[in-house]
Amino acid sequence: MKNRIVRAFAGTFILISLLLAIKLNINWLWVTAFVGANLLQSSITKWCLLEVILGKLGVKN
């Protein structure tokens, strides 16, 4: 369950930041880069802050 939430959260943030970059300001692409960097980091280290937060909120694997 956590993995689905993490992927949905990341995908939503990427799509929203892309839309904001197109409509408002190109600097919103930094949010896209940040999400991408966090996805890459979590794939290497197998640690994700959002998973930790979701665990503390009671979301099961």
Closest among 13, 47, 19 to 31, alpha carbons compared: 13
Give the pLDDT band (50/70/90) at residue 61. confident
What confidence tens digit (pLDDT) does each residue in 6-58 have? 999 999 999 999 999 999 999 999 999 999 999 999 999 999 999 999 999 99
Q: What is the pTM of this model?
A: 0.82
DSSP 8-state assignment for residue 59: -
- If one counts every other C-beta atom within 10 angstroms of the C-beta of residue 23, the result is 8
